[in-house]
């Protein structure tokens, strides 16, 4: 299949490109003319086009003849809200119009949305249903995703474009599960201590800080964070390989057309992941009650039934592959993570 893929230099886009190329698809990938991130794609057989997403004519010229469009190009944050408007919304309309006008036999338009449209933090013991999605989200990025979904669905209903919307999770790539990018995802005592010490003092926070300092002094490197309610932290995240697999399914599964799906890996249970890392690394771990819970997962029933998606990666595989990649082993991903955390 001839596929136009935007966002190919990103964490998710690069690994979606890798998956689709390995499946035998021909990929056209528009990338910013001034990008310094295209080197990660050097090993892939891609048709790279130096086109900015804001270049309406240039982007439109990439569309005729393609059989599918996977739109992942996005601006997560920027110096102004206008930048997110120009990158997150306008190119979506450009691609939809180009597909309508120039691709009468388009087989799929896959739009990468986000799980930012749901509340997914704190103590949430019941699975989060799709229907709990915010219709009045806060923040430019969130509402640009909601508006993008509305545009995509409108073109499906009004013009019959075969669209699929994927609500993509907080996605990690290999060693990033060790806290390289986001400290609260880390299994390491030192990372959580750094984060808690930034917070406002309270009896619960101070007790956790003291306990983590004690563990650090004892040479214990790993920690299982516990919710005040008792269970270990559980977050529903995405391994980039599962996310890439979902995009592949969205291109071919007929039942998915006109639908929107939450995409996740298996829940990342710290009570499973950290002891597994301790076994393979030889590092000691302890449990510590934290001042605030992180316990949630999504209901993926619709995703399984209509998209045919079954996540392959769970806490043991994610943390073990992260450990292996950090040691220099190949785990089958394009490594796009930073060496230092960004948040």
Give per-residue pLDDT as tens, 92-103: 999 999 999 999
Confidence of residue 341 (pLDDT cuts 50, 70, 90): very low
pLDDT, position 337 = 58
pLDDT greater than 60 at residue 339? no
Give per-residue pLDDT as tens, 192-209: 999 999 999 999 999 999
pLDDT, position 40 = 86
pLDDT, position 35 = 84
pLDDT, position 79 = 74
pLDDT, position 338 = 53
pLDDT greater than 70 at residue 155? yes
**Residue that is written with structure tokens 């450990």 in the block:** 323
How many CA within 13 A on the CB side of residue 5?
30
What domains does the chain contain, in order, with CATH numbers?
2-172+237-262 (3.40.50.720), 174-235+267-297+313-326 (3.90.25.60)
Confidence of residue 343 (pLDDT cuts 50, 70, 90): very low
pLDDT, position 342 = 35
Give the residue with greater pLDDT, 33 vs 340: 33
pLDDT greater than 80 at residue 25? yes
Give per-residue pLDDT as tens, 125-154: 999 999 999 999 999 999 999 999 999 999
Give per-residue pLDDT as tens, 222-259: 999 999 999 999 999 999 999 999 999 999 999 999 99
The 10 Å CB-count burial string (b at 16+, else e) for 272-311 is: bbbbbbbeebebebbebebbbbbbbbbbbeebeebbebeb
Q: What is the pTM of this model?
A: 0.95
d(CA 143, CA 77): 13
Confidence of residue 304 (pLDDT cuts 50, 70, 90): very high
pLDDT, position 83 = 86
Confidence of residue 75 (pLDDT cuts 50, 70, 90): confident
Mean pLDDT of 21-34: 95
Confidence of residue 37 (pLDDT cuts 50, 70, 90): confident
The proportion of the chain whose per-residue pLDDT surpasses 90, expressed as a percent, equals 90
* CB neighbour list of residue 3: distance below 8 Å, 6 or more residues apart: 20, 25, 26, 27, 28, 66, 67, 68, 69, 70, 251
pLDDT, position 180 = 84
């Amino acid at each position: 299949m001839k596929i136009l893929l935007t966002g190919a230099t990103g964490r998710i886009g690069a690994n979606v490109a890798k998956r689709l190329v390995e499946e035998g698809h021909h990929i056209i990938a528009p990338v910013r003319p001034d990008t310094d991130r295209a080197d990660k794609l050097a090993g892939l057989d891609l048709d790279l086009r130096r086109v900015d997403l804001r270049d309406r004519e240039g982007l439109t010229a990439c569309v005729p003849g393609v059989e599918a469009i996977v739109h992942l190009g996005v601006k997560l944050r920027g110096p102004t809200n206008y930048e997110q408007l120009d990158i997150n919304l306008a190119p979506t309309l450009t691609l939809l119009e180009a597909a309508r006008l120039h691709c009468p036999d388009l087989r799929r338009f896959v739009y990468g949305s986000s799980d930012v449209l749901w509340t997914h933090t704190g103590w949430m013991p019941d699975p989060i249903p799709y229907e709990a999605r915010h219709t009045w989200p806060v923040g430019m990025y969130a509402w640009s995703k909601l508006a993008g979904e509305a545009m995509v669905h409108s073109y499906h209903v009004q013009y019959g474009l075969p669209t699929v919307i994927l609500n993509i999770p907080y996605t990690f790539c290999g060693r990033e599960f060790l806290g390289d990018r986001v400290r609260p995802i880390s299994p390491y005592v030192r990372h959580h201590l750094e984060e808690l010490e930034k917070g406002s003092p309270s009896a619960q926070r101070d007790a956790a800080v003291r306990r983590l300092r004690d563990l650090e002094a004892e040479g214990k490197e790993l920690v299982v964070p516990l919710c005040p309610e008792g269970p270990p932290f559980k977050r529903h995240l995405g391994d980039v390989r599962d996310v890439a697999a979902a995009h592949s399914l969205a291109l071919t599964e007929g039942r998915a057309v006109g639908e929107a799906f939450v995409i996740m890996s298996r829940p990342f249970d710290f009570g499973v992941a950290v002891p597994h890392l301790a076994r393979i690394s030889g590092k000691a771990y302890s449990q510590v009650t934290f001042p605030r819970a992180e316990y949630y997962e999504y209901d993926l029933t619709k995703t399984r039934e209509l998209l045919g998606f079954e996540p392959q990666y769970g806490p043991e595989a994610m943390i073990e592959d992260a450990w292996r990649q950090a040691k220099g082993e190949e785990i089958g991903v394009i490594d796009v993570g930073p060496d230092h955390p960004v948040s």
